[in-house]
Amino acid sequence: MDAINVAVTRGALVESRHLVHAVVVRDGEVAEYWGDPDVLSFVRSAAKPFQALPLVSFDLPEDELAIACASHEALPEQLVAVRALLARAGASTDDLECGAEHGSKLRHNCSGKHAGFLLLARGRGWPTEGYRLPDHPVQEGVRVLVADVVGRDLESALDGCGVPTFALSLKEMARAFAGLVRGEPAGAKAVVAAMTAHPQLIGGPKAVDTLVMRALPGSVAKRGAEGVLCVGLPDGAGVALKVDDGANRAAYAAAGLVLDIDELRDRPVHNSRGETVGTISATA
């Protein structure tokens, strides 16, 4: 099966094209695919639901657990949840090791995940300084957890926010998210409940993962940098896609095609005046 073709038009001209690899897994087996289902990619922020699993033992309010899974847009509701998680950890913005976005560590899209790491370190009696580093107990625990989910040792590199991220095939990503919605591994049911209860915290009103969860109630979706998107569906299926050139805009249209969400499959292109000047559309 050929990769998904995402065409970006301006007027009557196709201005750009993006190729997208995607796979649907049911009962552990590949049910449908486009392009190469074995393509390897760093999972990036799509790993956040798994990185948040150790926090379930702290019996957090759902909004705080959800923000630990989020790539947020620094909206007021999202920052309230990050601050609450930091306070629970006995930490401040200065303790965050995610770097700054728009001049603020709090506004970094990964600050909720990092606040969760601080809580985990404090709660387990581990040093909080350096919690992001690969040899810190927080990150060693995450690596072991994800390796157990996948069933093999993992290749890692540093993510954009400074914590380790792992290279997985699309099939492995899809199987992991299928397991998540089935309640695997331990803590998954609480993470799924938090994410589905607060899709607006996970991304934002225009983020592809939030839009997928709103279009498909009961689903769990998480986007990652460089055009990664993973989805667990209420029927227990898992979906993963990767835009070949890393263009995140193509993930919307590809998700619309794979998940049969019309408003994502064909999206308008607007100029700075708000005028519709083209389309982003996916075909298989």
User: Interior CA angle at 216 toward 212 and 217, to 5°?
Assistant: 115
Measured CA to CA, the distance from residue 161 to residue 108 in angstroms comes to: 8
Q: In sequence order, which residues have a C-beta less than 8 Å from that of residue 45 and are 6 or more positions away?
A: 71, 109, 110, 159, 222, 223, 224, 225, 228
Mean pLDDT of 156-168: 97
Per-residue pLDDT at 1: 86
Q: What is the helix (H) or strand (E) element at residue 7, kind and residue range?
A: strand 4-10
Domain ranges of the chain: 4-283
pLDDT at residue number 204: 97
| DSSP element (H, E) containing 8 | strand 4-10
Percent of the chain with pLDDT over 70: 100
Overall average pLDDT of the 178-199 stretch: 98
Q: What is the mean pLDDT of residues 181-191?
A: 97
* pLDDT tens-digit series, residues 207-219: 999 999 999 999 9
Q: What are 191-194's contacts with CB under 8 Å, separation 24+?
A: 191/49, 191/52, 191/53, 191/56, 191/65, 191/69, 191/220, 192/49, 192/220, 192/232, 193/62, 194/60, 194/62, 194/63, 194/65, 194/66, 194/69
Return the pLDDT at 106. 98
CATH classification number, 4-283, choose in 2.40.160, 3.30.70, 3.40.710, 3.30.60: 3.40.710
Query: For residues 84 and 66, what is the distance between their CA atoms, to the nearest angstrom?
Result: 12
Residue 168: the pLDDT is: 98
The string of pLDDT tens digits covering residues 44-85 is 999 999 999 999 999 999 999 999 999 999 999 999 999 999
Tens of pLDDT, residues 203-248: 999 999 999 999 999 999 999 999 999 999 999 999 999 999 999 9
Q: What is the pLDDT of residues 88-136, one digit of tens each?
A: 999 999 999 999 999 999 999 999 999 999 999 999 999 999 999 999 9
Residue 151: predicted pLDDT: 97
Q: Give pLDDT, residue 64.
A: 98
Q: What pLDDT is attached to residue 40?
A: 97
- Yes or no: say if 48 and 203 are a contact pair by the CB < 8 Å rule: no
Count of all residues that appear for the chain in the document: 284
Region of 218 please: left (phi>0), alpha (psi -120 to 50) or beta.
Answer: left
Orientation of helix 137-150 relative to helix 111-124, angle to 10°: 110
Can you give the pLDDT at residue 203?
98
Mean pLDDT over residues 251-278, rounded?
Answer: 97
Mean pLDDT of 6-25: 97
Q: In this predicted structure, what is the pLDDT of residue 155?
A: 92
Give yes or no for residue 275 having a pLDDT over 90: yes
Residue 74 has, within 13 A of its CA and on its CB side, a CA count of 10
pLDDT at residue 231, as a whole number:
99
Q: What is the pLDDT of residue 67?
A: 98
The Cα angle at residue 178 between residues 173 and 184, in degrees rounded to 5: 105
User: Quick one: pLDDT at residue 142?
Assistant: 98
